[in-house]
Structures are given as C-alpha cells and as structure tokens.
C-alpha cells in the first residue's frame, strides 16, 4: 500500500537477509498514508547499532548511544534506529537511559502520537498497534497511551501536538488537549534549541495562525510571554480591527512559509503594548514601536538560540517594517543602503502582509504606496545606481595614493563622498570622485 523508495527497500531487505526485522516508521509512514511527500525516511530495526554498521559499507554514527546509525546510499542518508524503550525521563527532558529491545510493539509504544507510531514494510504491511489509521482518517492528534504520562515524560510533546495539528490541519483530541492545559508550565524544562525547532515548523506550516492554540493552551506563556501580552492588548485605532495579537496572527497567513518572514510577522508589533499612548479621542498610538520592537525581537530570538543571520534579518525587518519615506529615488537609495538588496524584497512582502492584516481603512492607498515604492526600488537596481559603499568608484587605497593617511580621517572622507553619491548617483565616476575628494582634503587642511 505504501511505495517505499528503492533505497529504503534495499536497506530493509538487506537487514532481513541478515536475520533482522526492519520497517519504515514514524513521520514517513504517516506522510505516505496522507499522500504527502515525506521529509526523510526513518527505519527502525531489531538489529543493534554495531550489527547495522557491520552490514552496510558506509555508515555514520549519528546518535549511537540512542541506537541511531545513518546508512549512506548514493549520498543520501537514512537513519536506521534500533528498536528501543525509553527509560525513566529525567526532568521532562530526556530519558535517563534507552534500552534496546527486539519487540517492535515496544518501540512503537514510546512514540508520541498514534499517527507517528505506525511502521511499514512490504513483507508485514502496516503495523498499527494504536489505531493510528483511524486518527489519520479522523484528522486527530492523540497521544500513544495516557496523555498526562506522556507529556510528563517529555514536555516538548505538548508543543509537537500543536505543531503537527498546524502542519496537517488536524485537531488535538480532547484528553490530549486537557493534559496540555494542565502541564503547559513543564515546557519550561525543555531546552531552547528543541523549542526553536518546533516553533519554526509550526510557523512555516500551512496553519501558522495555530500560534493561537499554543497561546490558549498556555504554551507561549512559557517560552514567549511577549506574545501573550500582544494577545491581550487591544488597539483602539482606525487602522485596526483586532488586538495586536490577532492582527499578528492574520499577517502570518499573508506571507510565504519562510522562516524569516514568518518570524518577522510574529514579532513585528511586539513592542506595541509597551509603546501605547492614548489621545483625547481615545485613539491609541504606538510611537517608535518598530525601534523598540527590533530590540525586543533580538532578545526573544537570542533567548530561543536562533542563529545570528536569522536574528539580524528579523530585527532589521521589524525595525523597518513601518518606515514610510516619501517616494523619491534619493530616499529609496538611502533605504536600500540601510537595508541591503538581499533583504529589501522581503521588506515589501512584510509591508504587504502587514497591510492585509489591518482594517480596510486606506488599504488601497497603502497598497498603492508599496507598489510605487517597489517600482522605484526596481528602477534604481535596473539603473545600477550606487546603493552600497563597496559600489563606489573610489576606495581607501585611491585616497591613500592621493596623500591621505590611513586612519579615521580616511573613513570620514569616504563617508562624505558616499553621502554625496547617494544624493546624486551621477557623481559615481572615478574622475568626479577624485575631484570631490580633493576638495574635501583641501577643506580639511
């Protein structure tokens, strides 16, 4: 019933030829049954890691202490993990020890959800001890065994329940949900790295607005209390129909499923609650919130151990998301110089999504503004106008040849030349810049 890739069948057959059992298991079985393309193919086997390593030519010790060996075939890795029972869980984080077993059912029993606890090979067909098929058909996320116990063993599973619901468009079964509500605070024991993985998967899923479920179940309170504050902050502003948090959820659906875009939308208004002022008419204003928001974004993404590039990109986009210069080539060049051409296209996506998440008030004008902004941006790039210092037709060594001593003064001169080029791109010619440099040098003497 499931078409396993040739390499997966080869690994399974080879293990059987050596007297072991082997099955495709977990996410790949679930996704195949749903007609989705599996991310990767995991194999579970009765063979011990040393036996797997002895059978295949090229293997990598991925997590040998947990029983996982990666088998390499045609430069693709397949994780082969020995049937195991997870021992007592320490502080809701990791099992103290794992025990290998020769019983497939025990291996399936340790898995988180019924839909993730099915195994398949073409000899035995589908092994489904916990009626995962019924839950797949009913679109339900349900724990294997007692939800309360399973979440107590590993608190990350609570986040995973919402993440799978968001990826698959499923509901979380009532008892599973009740157990999450009760045990949500235990998520604080889980490492930032593991939370980050699940957060990114949820945000880049088809249903990123299920961040709301994470909030309602008490999970965001643990790792991103700033989001709870947004959900609880009304806007009272004609540009908005929703609270800060609800607006945020709407914008998530208006950007592509890209990590940086979705994280940026999640955090673009994070500082609004701390930047509120109310005027005589009772309208709220949120002055400078993008600047404060960029700092808060950095703090949050650092806390969740995001890499520097992701963090820097999101901070920059949060900071710039509401900047609305008068559209002149000069202003747009300055914006490009600040933001860079790698990130600028994302800024337009952020601005559009932000607008689409707002009320209808002035929506057409706002979208028209963004379109005009973008067309001027494109013209500047098409004209190859200078928008970064490194594109200047003069550099430090040119200035040194002209007699300027290396040092801060040289940097100042370059900065002043760059300012002039940003104002007037036609100045970006070697000869003209030399003349301008000479003027600056004489004025400095």
Least distance CB 178 / ligand ATP (angstroms): 19
Residue nearest to ligand ATP (CB): 27
Binding-site size for Mg ion (CB under 5 A) equals: 1
CB 149, CB 92: distance < 8 Å: no
Return the number of the residue (172 or 422) whose C-beta is nearest ligand ATP. 172
Instruction: Tell me which of ligand ATP, Mg ion, none is bound by residue 77, counting a contact when its beta carbon lies within the kind-specific cut-off of 5 to 8 angstroms.
Output: none
Least distance CB 245 / ligand ATP (angstroms): 26
Would you give the DSSP letter of residue 111?
S
Return the number of the residue (86 or 320) whose C-beta is nearest Mg ion. 86
DSSP 313-369: HHHHHHHHTT------HHHHHHHHHHH-TTTHHHHHHHHHHHHHTS-STTHHHHHHH
Alpha-carbon distances of 176 from 119, 142, 181, rounded to whole Å: 22, 6, 9
CB 73, CB 79: distance < 8 Å: no
| β-pairing verdict for 171-172 and 140-141 | parallel
Q: Is 145 in the site for Mg ion (CB under 5 A)?
A: no
Q: d(Cα 105, Cα 376) in Å, to the nearest integer?
A: 62
| β-pairing verdict for 76-82 and 42-45 | parallel
Instruction: Tell me which of Mg ion, ligand ATP, none is bound by residue 203, counting a contact when its beta carbon lies within the kind-specific cut-off of 5 to 8 angstroms.
Output: none
Return the number of the residue (142 or 289) whose C-beta is nearest ligand ATP. 142
Return the number of the residue (36 or 302) whose C-beta is nearest ligand ATP. 36
Q: Is 218 in the site for Mg ion (CB under 5 A)?
A: no
Binding mask 150-179 for Mg ion (x = CB under 5 A): ------------------------------
Binding mask 2-41 for Mg ion (x = CB under 5 A): -------------------------x--------------
Residues 6+ apart with CB under 8 A from 264: 255, 313, 314, 317, 318, 321, 346, 350
Instruction: Tell me which of Mg ion, ligand ATP, none is bound by residue 156, counting a contact when its beta carbon lies within the kind-specific cut-off of 5 to 8 angstroms.
Output: ligand ATP
CB 67, CB 110: distance < 8 Å: no
Return the number of the residue (32 or 264) whose C-beta is nearest ligand ATP. 32
Instruction: Tell me which of ligand ATP, Mg ion, none is bound by residue 116, counting a contact when its beta carbon lies within the kind-specific cut-off of 5 to 8 angstroms.
Output: ligand ATP
User: Which residues of this chain interact with ligand ATP, rule CB under 6 A?
Assistant: 26-27, 39, 42, 111-112, 116-117, 154, 156-157, 201
Least distance CB 28 / Mg ion (angstroms): 7
Helices and strands: H and E segment counts in the chain: 22, 15
Least distance CB 224 / Mg ion (angstroms): 24
Q: d(Cα 34, Cα 28) in Å, to the nearest integer?
A: 10
Which residues here bind Mg ion, judged by CB under 5 A? 27
């Amino acid at each position: 019933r499931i078409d396993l890739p040739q390499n997966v069948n080869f690994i399974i057959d080879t293990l059987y030829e050596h007297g072991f059992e082997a099955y495709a298991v977990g996410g790949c079985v679930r996704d195949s049954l749903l007609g989705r393309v599996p991310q990767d193919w995991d194999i579970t086997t009765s063979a011990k890691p040393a036996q797997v390593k002895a059978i295949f030519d090229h293997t990598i010790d991925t997590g040998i202490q947990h029983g996982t060996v990666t088998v390499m075939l045609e430069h693709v890795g397949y994780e082969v993990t020995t049937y195991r029972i997870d021992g007592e869980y320490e502080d809701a984080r990791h099992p103290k020890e794992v025990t290998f077993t020769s019983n497939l059912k025990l291996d399936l029993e340790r898995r988180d959800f019924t839909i993730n606890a099915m195994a398949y090979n073409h000899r035995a067909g589908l092994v489904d001890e916990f009626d995962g098929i019924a839950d797949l058909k009913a679109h339900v996320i349900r724990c294997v065994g007692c939800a309360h116990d399973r979440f107590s063993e590993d608190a990350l599973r609570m986040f995973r329940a919402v993440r799978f619901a968001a990826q698959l468009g499923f509901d979380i079964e009532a008892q599973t949900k009740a157990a999450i509500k009760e045990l949500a605070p235990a998520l604080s024991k889980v490492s930032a790295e593991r939370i980050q993985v699940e957060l990114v998967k949820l945000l880049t899923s088809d249903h990123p607005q299920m961040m709301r479920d994470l909030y309602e179940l008490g999970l965001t309170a643990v790792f991103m209390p700033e989001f709870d504050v947004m959900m609880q902050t009304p806007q009272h502003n004609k540009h908005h129909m929703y609270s800060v948090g609800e607006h945020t959820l709407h914008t998530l659906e208006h950007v592509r499923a890209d990590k940086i875009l979705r994280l940026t939308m999640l955090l673009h208004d994070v500082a609004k609650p701390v930047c509120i002022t109310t005027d005589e008419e009772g309208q709220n204003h949120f002055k400078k919130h993008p600047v404060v928001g960029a700092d808060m974004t950095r703090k949050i993404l650092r806390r969740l151990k995001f890499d520097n590039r992701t963090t820097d990109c999101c901070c920059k986009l949060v900071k710039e998301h509401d900047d609305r210069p008068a559209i002149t080539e000069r202003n747009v060049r300055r914006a490009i110089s600040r933001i860079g051409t790698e990130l600028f296209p994302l800024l337009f996506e952020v601005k559009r999504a932000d607008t689409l998440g707002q009320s209808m008030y002035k929506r057409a004008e706002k979208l028209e503004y963004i379109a005009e902004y973008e067309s001027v941006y494109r013209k500047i790039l098409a004209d190859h106008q200078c928008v970064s210092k490194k594109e200047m037709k003069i550099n430090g060594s040119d200035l040194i040849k002209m007699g300027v001593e290396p040092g801060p003064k040289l940097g100042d001169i370059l900065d002043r030349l760059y300012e002039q080029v940003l104002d007037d791109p036609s100045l970006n010619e070697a000869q003209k810049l030399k003349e301008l440099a000479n003027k600056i040098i004489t004025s400095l003497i």
